[in-house]
């Protein structure tokens, strides 16, 4: 059985003006998501600025999220690293907090071969007992996990169960699902491709859009699974201008701005990320109003 089906939010990590994690606002964001029918929370991913959290902060944010959610919906912890040993450490610690699964990004910068990627994921997965999801995002990591490698990992290692596919390469994803034969749980890593990936047998999306439109993103998936493909497609297409605005600068700059515009107080970004350009912020605000969330 899949770790979750539907729309999982890649939740932001709110910070205070002094840069500390704002746990009070984090709790509010978690409740906002659950109240609006988000199907899972993915904590400490790219959108959660995991790359600028210390190891101590990273694990504390995961622990806090798991405690606040308290089993109401699945929690998947981002525990990847370009150092296999570090990823094992984060993963084994996160497992202790009772999370339902792990999202493990492809090792960035190192540019490992497929043999190295296989060994990396195998080592991490075998250090824990909970399900692991591969996160393939070549635009950020400089490294692509080939379909054959994903299928081999999901076949050989029982608790590697699927992939968050953010390559944007539909042909590659089609090949993956053709090879998978039901062995790979597929999640869209791009909010503008939810319906296309569901049509290939996908289980859902790990979503940036869900931060600001959780019910709408949930409905894209729920309608599809209920057989209302036309309604699902309509919601997908309606969200495209907002998806585009949320990625007009590098994620999570726009989504944090959007949450702040909504009064959700996601706070500042950690350097080297900086505040959104004013021109882009105005465009984002306009699109949010047109979409109906402002």
Residue 4 contacts residue 40 (beta carbons within 8 Å): yes
Q: What residues pair up with 10 in beta bridges, in sequence order? A: 42
For 150, phi then psi, to 5°, come to -60, -45
Residues 135, 187, 203, 256: which is the catalytic one?
135
Give the helix/strand (H/E) hosting 281: helix 278-291
Residues 25, 118, 121, 164: which is the catalytic one?
164
Residue 220 contacts residue 194 (beta carbons within 8 Å): yes
What are 75's two structure tokens?
Answer: 């929690």
Give the helix/strand (H/E) hosting 134: strand 132-136
Who contacts 104 (Cβ-Cβ below 8 Å, separation ≥6)? 78, 79, 80, 87, 91, 121, 124, 132, 133, 134, 135
For 42, phi then psi, to 5°, come to -105, 115
Whether the upstream peptide bond of residue 6 has omega within 30° of 0, thus cis, is no
Question: Can you tell me the distance from the alpha carbon of 57 to that of 63, in angstroms, rounded to the nearest whole number?
Answer: 10
DSSP string, 225-270: HTT-HHHHHHHHHHHHHHHHHHTSSSTTHHHHHHHHHTT---BPPP
CA 53 to mean position of chain CA atoms: 17
What are 205's two structure tokens?
Answer: 């999306």
135 included as an active-site residue: yes
Residues labelled catalytic? 135, 164
């Amino acid at each position: 059985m899949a770790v979750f089906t539907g729309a999982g939010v890649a939740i932001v990590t709110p910070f205070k003006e002094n840069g500390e994690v704002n746990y009070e606002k984090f709790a509010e964001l978690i409740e906002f998501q659950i109240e609006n029918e988000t199907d899972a929370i993915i904590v400490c991913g790219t959108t959660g600025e995991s790359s600028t959290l210390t190891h101590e902060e990273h694990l504390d944010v995961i622990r806090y999220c798991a405690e606040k959610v308290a089993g109401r919906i699945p929690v998947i912890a981002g525990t990847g690293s370009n150092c296999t040993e570090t990823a094992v450490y984060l993963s084994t610690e996160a497992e202790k907090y009772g999370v339902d699964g792990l999202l493990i990004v492809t090792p960035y910068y190192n540019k490992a071969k497929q043999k190295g990627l296989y060994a990396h994921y195998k080592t991490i997965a075998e250090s824990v007992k909970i399900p692991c999801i591969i996160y393939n995002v070549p635009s950020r990591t400089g490294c692509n996990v080939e379909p054959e490698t994903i299928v081999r990992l999901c076949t050989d290692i029982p608790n590697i169960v699927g992939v968050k596919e953010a390559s944007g390469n539909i042909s590659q994803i089609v090949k993956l699902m053709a090879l998978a034969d039901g062995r790979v749980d597929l999640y869209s890593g791009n909010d503008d491709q939810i319906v296309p990936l569901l049509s290939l047998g996908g289980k859902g999306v790990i979503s940036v859009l869900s931060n600001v439109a959780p019910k709408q993103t949930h409905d894209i998936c729920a309608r599809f699974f209920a057989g209302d493909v036309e309604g699902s497609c309509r919601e997908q297409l309606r969200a495209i201008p907002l998806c585009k605005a949320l990625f007009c600068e590098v994620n999570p700059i726009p989504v944090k701005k959007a949450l702040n515009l909504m009064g959700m107080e996601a706070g500042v970004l950690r350097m080297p990320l900086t505040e959104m350009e004013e021109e882009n912020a105005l465009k984002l605000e306009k699109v949010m109003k047109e979409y109906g969330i402002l």
